[in-house]
Chains A and B, each alone.
Chain A
Amino acid sequence: MLCDLDRDLAEARAQQFGIPEIETDYQRVLGRPDIDVVDIVTRGKDRGENHQELTFAALDAGKHVLCEKPVCHDYRDIRRAHDLAVSKNLKTKVGLTFRYAPAIMYMQALIAEGFIGKPFIFNGFEQNSQWIDPETPMDKRPHKERSEGGEIKGYDFRPEAIQVLSLEGYGAPIIDIGLMSVGSKLDRVIGTLKNMLPYRRRTNLDTERERINVDDADIFIGECANGALFSVQSAYVTVGNYPGIEARVYGSNGALVCRLVEEFGECETLHAAKPDAVEFVRMPIPDRFFPPGRQPGEPWPSLFYGNLVHNFMEELIDGDGANQGNFAQSAGVQEVINAVALSHRERRWVDLPLER
């Protein structure tokens, strides 16, 4: 079944994907005993602001949950959602899309086999240029009438009051990959959030640009519990194609560089080097890392998400403990985001874990 507030949209999508039923009331979805899994992929009136409410409702209704990020803006709320899921023996998954890219899955398999040895350094990037033009409105959806409120505020122009945006919207999946790659928690972080394009229109209905103080580019560094160094950069005003992910990991026995950037018909590459063969060479990705029904040249959104949802289904059907990229992992990622934001506001190193 497919649910959306907009009946026409729900109808069109149901037809497109051959789904037997549509609904505009999510409570009716949650009330159906024959449904096992609920997938929350709302954009919401205010960019994802209903993920938290829908997630708790779905878990309360006893459904396994896949939710787009952010599940909640405060890592403590995600942890509560995780505890609720565990107490009900439910599995969860967050739209940390890029850990499911075949090249990233292969990279992680190589790391697990000891390819890089002891991890020394992780460098992560998630970049695109979708708002590089100041004429592009902050809210890109075409509006017919002005709506109340909106999540993007940015009315406080002090640098320390900048609203977190790129770091949460784009940083999350690469932080997730970084934590997975080094196999360790972060002990402390420090970062800087920047607003490179201070003036733009809020929506297509606005004629004047206004000052909106949001983070459109950021970098942070960190130290991991196992001694590894960590850096992550995210931006939506840096030139480059989607999804704009790069993950580099250097260790005592080798290095791996994975690039997920659609360029000239390729959306993923993995390169490797060893101490005795220091020139990076391309690694072919074995078939087992691709989802069922894969088409050559398939666009990355369906390819990577094909892996994500199939992996979730396998985890649910296998019935054992496996549950990668769940709410616990997402809470850890969100805690890093919250800590980096705090480090920027207070212009200091912030130790992790944050107070519990």
Chain B
Amino acid sequence: MKDKLHVGVIGAGRWAGFAHLPGWKRSPLVELAVVCDVDVERAKARAKEFEVPDFTTDYEKVLSRTDIDVVDIVTSGDNHEPLTFATLEAGKHCLVEKPVCHDYKDVWRAHALATSKKLKTKVGLTFRYAPAMQYMYDLIRDGFVGQPYVFNGWEQNSQWIDPAAPSRFARADTGDAPIKVGSLEGYGAPTIDISLWLIQSRVTSVVGILKNFVPKRLNPDGTWVRTNVDDGDIYIGEYANGAICSMQSSYVTVGNYPGIEARVFGSKGALICRLVEEFGECQVLRSATPEAVEFVQVEVPPSYFPPGYVKGESWRSLFYANLVHNFAQEICDGGQANQGNFAQSARVQEIINAVERSHRERRWVDLPLEPGVGD
């Protein structure tokens, strides 16, 4: 194994600038090789900003470079699926922003392809990599909560609460078409991931509701359009191990980013992790036990923080730095470890697909959705 992984980043937009590029930059295991964007100016500017030696507008040029080990797909368009398959075909380890594909079965296909080529994968399930969340997982694994009974998850923000909020792109008029999945996929995914990861059990049934609270929105050209998209949703679920869960996502509920909360109640204790930037703090972990029922704050040990951690650092760079460094470690170590990979993302996407079906058919939907698909 060479001493450093060479990484190519496809997509140089805001999230790449906030999270991905600074994350790669600070991992001692990584060297950034190239930035790719369809907008040449943006690619050039990002390359300069992060001192990346090369930039391009053609992703094929990234994939064909033999010195590149890892490709990071952080495009904003609806092209994650073709880029992911192309990256894996080119024999690169792959990090991709969610959703990898809209249908969970396609995510499983991508996982199978990666496995067949001995490639590791990772999905931008950012919030499991928050230091507080990683510590919460370890506490649960070590028995702090005992047998899990209840999981409650939220991922909320208010970025589209104003119907006239300026949008960078024009929205299509949905007319009277049935509600489209929006928040559940865009914001629900990382907390659904956490709900599976912390409880360590499959979800066997779900039922939920997708809602459109803000029915009309203002387009950049000044026209109002009907936007029947899920901007708030709740579902409940049952796990194979007997636990139950609730999960809520929304982008029209007042609160700060990233707006994540995960609660686990079990036979021996309870843990609550809140990732909400408030007054300079972006993560808080609290615990209680049957003998000490008043929740107290738990300090997150320094080992859970990424290289180059600065106190008071924004969650945008902090959590992602853990994610990419963890991926680089998994690849360099060469073992089996590969948390938050395509298999996990496929399980998350299957739940999203099941909740959507439960909404459309107004009933409990059992999982797996199709026997023989997945693990």
Do A and B share a complex?
yes
Known: A120-B232, A123-B248. A133 touches B290 (CB 8 A): yes
> Which chain B residue lies CB-closest to A188?
B362
In the bound complex, how far is the Cα of B73 from the Cα of A31, in angstroms? 80
- Of the listed stretches A74-82, A236-244, A328-336, chain B binds A236-244
Contacts known (A121-B248, A239-B269); A194 close to B242, Cβ less than 8 A: yes
Number of A-B residue pairs with CB-CB distance less than 8 Å in the complex they form: 133
Contact status B290-A255, CB under 8 Å: no
Taking a contact as CB atoms under 8 Å apart, the answer to whether B254 and A274 are in contact is: yes
**Cβ–Cβ < 8 Å partners of A196 in chain B:** 149, 242, 267
Contact of B150 with A217 in the complex, beta carbons under 8 Å: yes
**Which residues from 247 to 276 on chain B have a C-beta closer than 8 Å to any C-beta of chain A?**
248, 250, 252-256, 265-267, 269-270
Q: Does B278 contact A (CB under 8 A)?
A: yes
Asked if A48 CB lies within 8 Å of chain B CBs, one says no
Q: Is the CB of B252 within 8 A of A263?
A: no
Q: Is the beta-carbon distance between A220 and B236 smaller than 8 angstroms?
A: yes
Contacts A219-B236, A252-B161, A263-B294 known; A233 to B152 CB distance under 8 Å?
yes
Find the residue from A192, A223, A347 having the highest chain B CB count within 10 A: A192
A220 to B209, CA, bound (A): 12
- Most chain B CB neighbours (cut-off 10 Å) among A132, A233, A254: A132
Residue A320 interfacial (CB < 8 Å): no
Are B254 and A194 interface neighbours, CB within 8 A?
Answer: no
By a CB distance below 8 angstroms, the chain A residues around B162 are: 275
Contact with B along A328-356 (1 / 0, CB 8 A): 00000000000000000001110000000
Complex contact B248–A231 (CB within 8 A): yes
Give every chain A residue within 8 A of B245 (Cβ-Cβ): 219
Residue A227 lies at the interface, judged by CB distance under 8 Å to chain B? yes
Given that A217-B150, A238-B270 are contacting pairs, would A278 and B255 also be in contact in the complex, using a CB cutoff of 8 Å? yes
Interface residue? A111 (CB, 8 A): no
Tell me whether A238 and B238 are in contact (CB under 8 A): no
Is A191's beta carbon under 8 Å from chain B? Answer: yes
- Complex: A280 Cα to B265 Cα, angstroms: 24
**Can you give 17 A-B contacts (C-beta < 8 A)?**
A120-B250, A129-B293, A197-B267, A217-B244, A219-B150, A221-B207, A221-B246, A229-B209, A231-B236, A239-B290, A240-B270, A240-B293, A251-B254, A263-B294, A280-B255, A347-B364, A349-B362
Residues of A participating in the B interface, judged by any CB pair closer than 8 Å: 120-121, 123, 127, 129, 132-133, 190-192, 194, 196-197, 217-221, 223, 227, 229, 231, 233, 235, 237-241, 250-252, 254-255, 262-264, 273-275, 278-280, 347-349
Given contacts A121-B248, A219-B150, A240-B295, 13 further A-B contacts (CB under 8 A): A129-B293, A194-B242, A197-B267, A219-B245, A229-B211, A233-B150, A238-B150, A239-B293, A252-B161, A252-B252, A273-B255, A279-B256, A348-B364
